[in-house]
Structure 1
Amino acid sequence: MSRRDGIPWWDAGRQRSQTRLAAPHEGAHFALGRPGGEMIRDVLRMGDPRLLRVARPVTEFGTPQLAALLQDMRDTMAHLDGAGLAAPQIGVDLRVVIFGGMANPRYPDSPAVPDTVLINPELVPLSDEEEAGWEGCLSVPGLRGWVPRWKRLRYAGCDETGRRLERTVDGFHARVVQHECDHLDGILYPMRIRDFRLFGFTDVLNVPGIAEE
């Protein structure tokens, strides 16, 4: 168990966020307890050095602490209409991502991706072929960029119980898993952009099929 300032890692984000509230229009999302025990966690924004750290592997599965982390991530992602979320985005340095769901208002024209918990992921491209597309990020609010990604890949990892998961995917599914797994290595999507003429504020770019954040 890792502790910071005597606070267990699974409570650190909650306790920090309760003392650091920010107005939603400033781009920072706040911790909000809701009826039913839901917890909306702060999402770190680009410029926070914690987003640049390499996350640690998960070594224990099926624990109450891991279950609580995943529930907080699900609540936060759903509240913000995210297509995915990585644990480092809420200040937890573990190799945990979640993604998927049905139609997403932030990506209205994109195909559905199955709800997935992916822990200690491994990604292997199946060719050198790339495909570029528009991406946004809850940690880079209000902006979009044209990002090249592997078009087709195989990914593997574990679910919350430690059960092995392996899939071969392409298109939007492949893009989402690459985007989220980049967070585990301290990479934000602007670092992948090759042409910064194709990076800007969502409402200024006016990209078809991409909803304003």
Structure 2
Amino acid sequence: MASPGRSTSLSDQVEELLTRTGPLPIVAAGDPVLRRAAEPFDGQLDAALLSRFVAALRETMRAAPGVGLAAPQVGVPLRLAVVEDPAPVPDAVREARGRVPLPFRVLVNPVYEPVGTGRAVFFEGCLSVPGWQAVVARHARVRLLARDESGRPVDEVFSGWPARIVQHETDHLDGTLYLDRAELRSLSSNQAVAERWAQATPDLAAAELGFPLAGED
């Protein structure tokens, strides 16, 4: 259990954040909070404050827009994240990437483990690394263990793009950015991705930029 001093500090930090109106400011790469393991949630925020914080994370994620947001991305080192993906993509992209709708979820103290040996390789971006994307090989299927905002246990297998989202956001809570797992020769501006690499798979980008797709299953 967290110490009383630490709990009060986190509670006060969240209360201060929530005094602002509109989306919360997103912390960019280079801030130490993104490079430290987040503190497991153990009641540091009471139910009412947790509900308000989750609502603010949801608003911030949607406004960005993004498909996930971890508490450290708004400067709060708690093991908490929100995810949601309406998946408004063409059929070819949906089929290649397994990008299916992911309803809004709150993940408290999440951890994941691979299911099988399959890997999926696609471009990925991050709200804390604005303007850039890179190709990342991730587990194609993962088992997620967590709690929801009400403390109910979550034990679920995710595949396709939802599995990528779950891994990306859980990594944030371990102080890991997607760039740590990326093929850095693939690093491209959002403009370059839109103009050159908007295909359903990164095969053309791999051929033109000279990086392997060895992680692909």
Q: What is the TM-score of this pair, normalised by structure 1?
A: 0.79
Work out whether 1:141 is the aligned partner of 2:130.
yes
Which runs of 5 or more structure 1 residues have no equivalent in the other structure?
16-30, 34-38
CA distance in 1, matches of 2:28, 2:139: 25
Q: Which position in structure 2 is the counterpart of 1:46? A: 29
The one of 11, 15, 27 aligned to 1:11: 15
Q: Secondary structure at the match of 1:132?
A: strand
Q: Which amino acid aligns with 1:139?
A: S
Q: Which amino acid aligns with 1:161?
A: S
CA distance in 2, matches of 1:48, 1:82: 20
Structure 1 residue 103, shift from structure 2 partner: 3.1
For 1:124-203, what aligned pairs fall within 5 Å after superposition?
124-193=113-182, 195-203=183-191
Q: Which amino acid aligns with 2:14?
A: W
CA distance in 1, matches of 2:73, 2:192: 26
Deviations 1:40-68 (A, max 9, x none): 10000011111111101111276111111
Structure that is richer in helix per residue: 2
Structure 1 residue 111, shift from structure 2 partner: 2.1
Larger Rg over CA atoms: 2
How many pairs are equivalent? Answer: 184
* Distance 1:209-1:88 versus aligned 2 partners, 3 A rule: farther
The one of 66, 73, 86 aligned to 1:82: 66
Q: Which amino acid aligns with 1:207?
A: W
Structure 1 residue 104, shift from structure 2 partner: 5.0
Which runs of 5 or more structure 2 residues have no equivalent in the other structure?
1-6, 201-217
Q: What is the TM-score of this pair, normalised by structure 2?
A: 0.78
Deviations 1:84-138 (A, max 9, x none): 0000000111110110131358xx8532112111101121111232211111111
CA distance in 2, matches of 1:68, 1:52: 25
Q: Deviating runs (4+, > 3 A) in structure 1? A: 12-15
Q: Secondary structure at the match of 1:115?
A: strand
